[in-house]
Amino acid sequence: MKLDARVPGGPLADKWSRLRNDLKLVSPANKRKRSIIVVGTGLAGGAAAAALGELGYKVTAFCYQDSARRAHSIAAQGGINAAKNYQNDGDTIYRLFYDTIKGGDYRSREANVYRLAEVSNAIIDHCVAQGIPFAREYGGYLANRSFGGAQVSRTFYARGQTGQQLLLGAYASLNAQVAAGNVTVRPRTEMLDLVVIDGRARGVVTRDLVSGAVECHVGDAVLLATGGYSNVYFLSTNAKGCNVTAIWRAFKRGAAFANPCYTQIHPTCIPQAGDYQSKLTLMSESLRNDGRVWVPKAVGDQREPGDIPEAERDYYLERIYPSFGNLVPRDVASRNAKKACDEGRGVGPGRRGVYLDFADAIGRLGEHVIRARYGNLFDMYQMITGENPYRVPMRIYPAPHYTMGGLWVDYYLMSTIPGLFVLGEANFSDHGANRLGASALMQGLADGYFIIPYTLGEYLAGAKLEAVGAGHDVCRSVVAEVEARTAKLLAINGSRTVDSLHRELGMLMLDECGMSRTAPGLTAAIEKIRSLRDSFWSDVRVPGEGADLNQELEKAGRVADHLELAELMCRDALQRNESCGGHFREEYQTEEGEALRDDQNFTNVTVWEHGGGDAPPRQHTEDLIFETVHPTQRSYK
Amino acid sequence: MKLTLHVWRQRNPADAGAFATYELEDVSTHMSFLEMLDVLNQDLIAKGEEPIAFEHDCREGICGSCGFMVNGVAHGEQPGVTVCQLHMRHFKDGDEVTIEPWRAKAFPIIKDLVVDRSAFDRIMHAGGFITVRTGSAPDANAIPITTENVEHAMDFAECIGCGACVASCPNGAAMLFVGAKIAHLGLLPQGQPERAARALRMVEAMEREAFGACSNFRACEAVCPKEISISGIARMNKDFRRVALAGPAPARGKRR
């Protein structure tokens, strides 16, 4: 497999504008004749479908939810970064680029990240024009807050519901295109396979989740914007329906998968309460602006937090990282929380938690200020735990939240299958080994509004695409495969529920391929995953039928794919003999316990190609060339 | 604690449907309501029965997927929450809990507790947006907006489109939902150019669906998980009246 990232030449700051000068254009008359399939209607997919509709393409957008407005981007709380420098605090496009590259532990592509920072400002402009009610100062101008991993204040926000407002903005623009007749939305429709004809992505096979009908939809290009795969861990902050199926099916049809082991475990989530737990709830990282993280100094100290005197508390982030303190990046904060709990200093039921204490901030600023900043988050915490965080410190613990890995894409966001583009969290491109807060919304919207509308044209103008219909032989055979798989899942009729198998997979992955990994652990995990996969295919019970709404069947198909992905994640983590960002191999750490990169051997992207059938996947690498920044050990001290 | 559940079971839109009763022995007070149903569903599958179908996704009160009646109240009796955020600590040992889907002509039942809310999307398609071509916006700070207006707009923009307002209205009206969007966009300077057209199109689209009219019963506001005020309905009526009474705006500018 040849990997050509197609990064344009020239100085870093000029690459994108120079490329835009050279990109081929599709004439307005021809755009009408081009049909584009978009899978997923979150920030990346919704924005792409809307922007492509505005250009005049015929777009069909698919989502598994009952409405395009419900994609999981909606749950993002904290904010969206942009290099506006409205605060006059020294921010520039270069600084946003640099912080993102550094935050990603020098494992992302310079040119992609620079472009992301470059288009960030246009995103804010567009969102305000859409009517997104971002927070404002009393003079009527936009407000900003600061976020982990940055020393400037560049995050735009709408209360604690920034993702909701941005998604509803994209949904509104999508609706305008539905009204204009350019976009058709197909809700309650799940992509179950990719159609590749003559080496090009030409369509998808979907299942109508209400009628069970399996259908093929063909087009001139396919865009996957289907999010991440944190639900491989069963318990995560993702919505219950989030899944890897679309990109995994594409992987099995030839799209390469990059850095599957790069996952982000978010530091500020509400700890698990019991065995029945179905998901974990994230509390925005912005809380770390005013909250102080601590655990008791003494191992096994079970006193109530209020009974532990100041001198017997360990504000460990402030102690270890005096310059960034509680605002260290997510991977650093998570790892330190785990370490404190592993040492026996954890708090709350099960002792898997640390305190996030607002007493000082309330004393300094008054309760009303804290309420204005975080009121909805505090309410949410109280609703879930029954505890009042204005009075007692919150308890938090890390939870799987985001996956930096995803399908490999070049600078044009095209995968290794021509005509298959991958946007947002589903691709691997911009966050390296760790994503900074408020960067996911930025990337999703950058890809959808401001990158794909340009780069897609280059592909369409340059490709000779023969007309294909849904009756094409390849379409028919992929439909038959999907139907056979559904029938197989329904026929097993074993003794274990989908959830019980998924939960077992999740616990295994969290232990062995979560916040810290070891070679023996990963090796053993691969064997266990294989045997769990055998149990699934011989003993799962999927009740009901295929020809109506069957939520267990939907889950079963997704878990089957997570069971395959999990093995690839472990393989990837096993071969990356270094620690970087969210990937922490215990064998590779500094004397102080920080991640120890191996730039000599691993300044690269690991790219996996499906081996075909049961053959092992083939490993490739894309070397990362740093022309502008010089990788150093990340220090937040 | 022990609970007795009476749950609406309906195989498909054509099925008449009926309540089924389930006895739960060991419900933890820390569970969410949906986790309680998850546990019941695991038991049903083990017994060879079909699990209860209910809509859910984010399970943190923001996606708007979940929603059904708990003892006759949309999302249950706790104010300001969706049913995924309702916790079992609000129930007590021995309680009987009746669970049924949204009942509204405009929301046909698909299965068990799952209903079809696509009518909401169709109203939004008609005008729930500001027309702005990607790339054409001025600098985000070009137009200052008072914090008062932006916060007020945000109060309406928080709507999650769950449908509790419709299900709770004796007329099955969608006016809180529609009013929220009209108020959100109408309070912002960016929303002014299309304000009249938006009200006209959205109200007409709403009337094409099987929703009823508002009679100021205010049940919608009482159950809304985002506590959206019916003042949005007043704003909608005002915008609609202005355009409906005045008739279509005369074309301006020279005709060539």
- Domain spans, chain B: 3-100, 118-246
Could B150 and A70 be called an inter-chain contact, meaning their C-beta atoms sit closer than 8 Å? no
Overall average pLDDT of the B98-106 stretch = 98
pLDDT, residue A172, reads 98
Indicate the angle between helix axes A110-129 and A93-103, nearest 10 degrees.
120
Overall average pLDDT of the A161-184 stretch = 97
| Residue range B37-58, pLDDT digits in tens | 999 999 999 999 999 999 999 9
- For chain A, the first-to-last Cα distance in angstroms comes to 42
Q: How many whole angstroms separate alpha carbon A609 and alpha carbon B105?
A: 51
Residues A275 and A386 in one domain: yes
Could A278 and B12 be called an inter-chain contact, meaning their C-beta atoms sit closer than 8 Å? no
Could A74 and B131 be called an inter-chain contact, meaning their C-beta atoms sit closer than 8 Å? no
Answer whether residue A81 is part of any domain. Answer: no
Answer whether residue A378 is part of any domain. Answer: yes
Q: Which long-range contacts (CB under 8 A, 24 or more apart) does A415-418 make?
A: A415/A201, A415/A250, A415/A255, A415/A256, A416/A1, A416/A3, A416/A254, A416/A255, A416/A256, A416/A609, A417/A194, A417/A196, A417/A199, A417/A200, A417/A201, A417/A250, A417/A253, A417/A254, A417/A255, A418/A199, A418/A200, A418/A201, A418/A459, A418/A463
Overall average pLDDT of the A561-587 stretch = 97
Q: How many whole angstroms separate alpha carbon A512 and alpha carbon A584?
A: 11
Answer whether residue A553 is part of any domain. Answer: yes
Separation in Å, CA of A637 to nearest CA in chain B = 35
Could B129 and A175 be called an inter-chain contact, meaning their C-beta atoms sit closer than 8 Å? yes
Overall average pLDDT of the B149-154 stretch = 98
Residues A486 and A613 in one domain: yes
Separation in Å, CA of A296 to nearest CA in chain B = 25
Overall average pLDDT of the B180-206 stretch = 97
Closest residue in chain A to residue B136, using alpha carbons only: A126
pLDDT, residue A467, reads 94
Overall average pLDDT of the A526-548 stretch = 97
The pair of structure tokens assigned to A529 is: 């995953």
Q: Are A207 and A486 in contact (CB under 8 A)?
A: yes
Q: How many whole angstroms separate alpha carbon A542 and alpha carbon A483?
A: 15
pLDDT, residue B256, reads 60
Q: Are B217 and B169 in contact (CB under 8 A)?
A: yes
Could B124 and A175 be called an inter-chain contact, meaning their C-beta atoms sit closer than 8 Å? yes
The DSSP bridge pattern shows strands A394-403 and A354-357 to be antiparallel
Separation in Å, CA of B76 to nearest CA in chain A = 14
- State yes or no: pLDDT of B254 exceeds 90: no
Could A66 and B42 be called an inter-chain contact, meaning their C-beta atoms sit closer than 8 Å? no
Separation in Å, CA of A137 to nearest CA in chain B = 7
Q: Which of B114, B127, B130 sits opposite A130 (nearest CB)?
A: B130
Which residue among A401, A431, A465 closes a domain? A401
> Which amino acid is present at A360?
D
Separation in Å, CA of B58 to nearest CA in chain A = 4
Could A135 and B150 be called an inter-chain contact, meaning their C-beta atoms sit closer than 8 Å? yes
Q: How many residues does chain A have?
A: 637
pLDDT, residue A535, reads 98
A580 shares contact with chain B (CB less than 8 Å): no
| Residue range A472-521, pLDDT digits in tens | 999 999 999 999 999 999 999 999 999 999 999 999 999 999 999 999 99
Could B51 and A171 be called an inter-chain contact, meaning their C-beta atoms sit closer than 8 Å? no
Answer whether residue A45 is part of any domain. Answer: no
Q: Which of B63, B139, B188 sits opposite A74 (nearest CB)?
A: B63
Q: Which of A66, A86, A499 sits opposite B55 (nearest CB)?
A: A66
Residues A479 and A607 in one domain: yes
Could B57 and A240 be called an inter-chain contact, meaning their C-beta atoms sit closer than 8 Å? yes
CATH number, position A388:
3.90.700.10
Confidence band (pLDDT; 50, 70, 90) for A122? very high
Residues A485 and A603 in one domain: yes
pLDDT, residue B226, reads 97
pLDDT, residue A77, reads 87
A484 shares contact with chain B (CB less than 8 Å): no
What is the percent of chain A with per-residue pLDDT over 70, rounded to a whole number?
100
| Residue range A394-422, pLDDT digits in tens | 999 999 999 999 999 999 999 999 999 99
CATH number, position A597:
1.20.58.100
A453 shares contact with chain B (CB less than 8 Å): yes
Q: What is the CATH number of domain B3-100?
A: 3.10.20.30
- State yes or no: pLDDT of A244 exceeds 90: yes
Could B31 and A176 be called an inter-chain contact, meaning their C-beta atoms sit closer than 8 Å? no
Residues 6 or more apart whose CB falls under 8 angstroms from that of B126 comprise A179, B201, B202, B204, B205
pLDDT, residue A1, reads 87
Answer whether residue A603 is part of any domain. Answer: yes
Q: Are A219 and A583 in contact (CB under 8 A)?
A: no
A206 shares contact with chain B (CB less than 8 Å): no
- State yes or no: pLDDT of B18 exceeds 90: yes
Q: How many whole angstroms separate alpha carbon B244 and alpha carbon A444?
A: 40
| Residue range A425-436, pLDDT digits in tens | 999 999 999 999
Residues A510 and A395 in one domain: no
Residues A390 and A505 in one domain: no
Confidence band (pLDDT; 50, 70, 90) for A634? confident
Which residue among A401, A422, A454 closes a domain? A401
Could A141 and B141 be called an inter-chain contact, meaning their C-beta atoms sit closer than 8 Å? yes
- Touching B: A residues 210-229, CB under 8 Å: 210
pLDDT, residue A78, reads 83
Return mean pLDDT, chain A: 96
Q: Look-up: residue for tokens 């008449």?
A: B16
Confidence band (pLDDT; 50, 70, 90) for B185? very high
Q: How many whole angstroms separate alpha carbon A608 and alpha carbon A606?
A: 7
Q: How many whole angstroms separate alpha carbon A181 and alpha carbon A169?
A: 19
**Could you name the CATH architecture of B118-246?**
Orthogonal Bundle (1.10)
> Which of A551, A553, A554, A559 to probe by mutation at the B interface, max B CB count within 10 Å?
A551
What is the spatial order of strands in the sheet that B3-9 belongs to? B18-24, B3-9, B95-100, B69-70, B73-74
Residues A394 and A477 in one domain: no
> Could you tell me the residue range of the domain that residue A545 belongs to?
473-623
Overall average pLDDT of the B60-68 stretch = 97
> Which amino acid is present at A84?
K
Residues of A in contact with B188 (CB under 8 A): 131, 133
Overall average pLDDT of the A36-57 stretch = 98
Q: Which of A178, A239, A384 sits opposite B58 (nearest CB)?
A: A239
- State yes or no: pLDDT of B253 exceeds 90: no
Q: How many whole angstroms separate alpha carbon A55 and alpha carbon A30?
A: 11
> Which of B15, B60, B107, B155 to probe by mutation at the A interface, max A CB count within 10 Å?
B60
Confidence band (pLDDT; 50, 70, 90) for A147? confident
* Helix boundaries (H) for A493-598: 498-513, 519-539, 551-575
Confidence band (pLDDT; 50, 70, 90) for B248? low
A531 shares contact with chain B (CB less than 8 Å): no
Residues 6 or more apart whose CB falls under 8 angstroms from that of A344 comprise A299, A300, A351
Could A134 and B150 be called an inter-chain contact, meaning their C-beta atoms sit closer than 8 Å? yes
- State yes or no: pLDDT of A119 exceeds 90: yes
Q: Which of A127, A139, A276 sits opposite B38 (nearest CB)?
A: A276
- Touching B: A residues 587-616, CB under 8 Å: none
Could A133 and B188 be called an inter-chain contact, meaning their C-beta atoms sit closer than 8 Å? yes
Q: How many whole angstroms separate alpha carbon A87 and alpha carbon B157?
A: 26
The DSSP bridge pattern shows strands A58-62 and A183-186 to be parallel
Which residue among A401, A435, A461 closes a domain? A401
- State yes or no: pLDDT of B255 exceeds 70: no
CB-side neighbour CA atoms (13 Å) of A219: 26
> Which of B24, B35, B41, B58 to probe by mutation at the A interface, max A CB count within 10 Å?
B58
Residues of A in contact with B60 (CB under 8 A): 75, 279, 281-282, 380
- State yes or no: pLDDT of A579 exceeds 80: yes
Confidence band (pLDDT; 50, 70, 90) for A81? very high
Q: How many whole angstroms separate alpha carbon A423 and alpha carbon A446?
A: 9
Number of domains within chain A? 2
